[in-house]
Amino acid sequence: MTPRLLATSDLHVTYRQNRDFVSAIEPGSPDDWLIVAGDVAEKFDDVEWALDALRKRFRRVVWSPGNHELWTVKDDPVQSRGEVRYKQLVELCRSLGVLTPEDEFAVFEGAGGPVAVAPLFTLYDYTFRPAGTTDKASALAAAQEAGVVCTDEYFLHPDPYPSREAWSAARVAESERRLDAVDTALRTVLINHWPLVRDPTFVLRYPEFALWCGTERTADWHLRYRAAVAVYGHLHIPRTIRKDGVRFDEVSLGYPREWQPRGWTRAPLLDVLREGDAR
């Protein structure tokens, strides 16, 4: 069987039902690869459990961090913050044999390949602003007035950067540096927890939440870096859209209260190099 490049995100294994789903995830072939586009869990032990279980079943597992892994919550024995926490997560992944945004981009040669599989970490910089706002301060004020404040404001610390947007700027620059080095003969699969373009946020029930969903700095990356597909999570709205002829796949599982009404009995894995757009 030809190996496939599969993807999921937002596994949130703190929830027992989600943990059961992850326990049941199996590849179709022992040579399948799996992308995990962030938000595995908040605590190190849970992240380790999930990624270790998946790595034992798939030929390769490729991880990009989400905001939940970067939270510092009081009941996690690991109380590191910001960039130190991210680097510790990278080392955890490496100890498990899981690829991260800090590792050389691997080339997938299976169905739909060859493609450079590029896990990214860009954060967000408050540039996905609500209509009528012009800067971070006015945008945050509008969000607060609407009763929409992301939990990141309390648990996601940017240390040693002065702000999350400063950390985001550094991460965008590092990601560009690494993407610029990819062989131009290769298409890419761009993997980022936050959508690289703003379009997926247009369907949010609370549009103010888009503030915590990405950065305008990545708006042309799908074109600049020859994307065959861009994979993301975060919004918990699993679907496929096209922009400039490029597919953008959200591959979130989400919280039980979100997936149970869909009638799901297992965690969905999307073949991101499939032909066509059917979900």
Residue 192 has pLDDT above 80, yes or no: yes
Q: What is the residue-averaged pLDDT of the chain?
A: 96
The whole-number pLDDT of residue 140 equals 96
Which three-class secondary structure state does DSSP give residue 279? coil
| CA-wise closest residue to 69 among 52, 87, 83, 86 | 86
The whole-number pLDDT of residue 277 equals 39
- DSSP letter, residue 165: H
Which value, in Å, is the radius of gyration of the alpha carbons in the chain?
Answer: 18
Tell which CATH classification among 3.20.14, 3.60.21, 3.30.70, 2.50.20 matches the domain 5-271: 3.60.21
- List % helix, strand, coil for the chain (3-state, nearest 5): 35, 15, 50
Q: How far is CA 248 from CA 14, 69, 188, 194, in A?
A: 27, 23, 13, 11
Tokens representing residue 22 in the block: 């992850």
pLDDT digits (tens, 9 = 90+) for 28-43: 999 999 999 999 999 9
pLDDT digits (tens, 9 = 90+) for 159-185: 999 999 999 999 999 999 999 999 999
Q: pTM for the full model?
A: 0.96
pLDDT digits (tens, 9 = 90+) for 56-65: 999 999 999 9
Phi and psi, residue 43, nearest 5°: -100, 145
Provide mean pLDDT across the span 193-205: 97
Other beta carbons within 10 angstroms of residue 258's beta carbon come to 16
Cα–Cα–Cα angle for 183, 165, 202, rounded to 5 degrees: 80
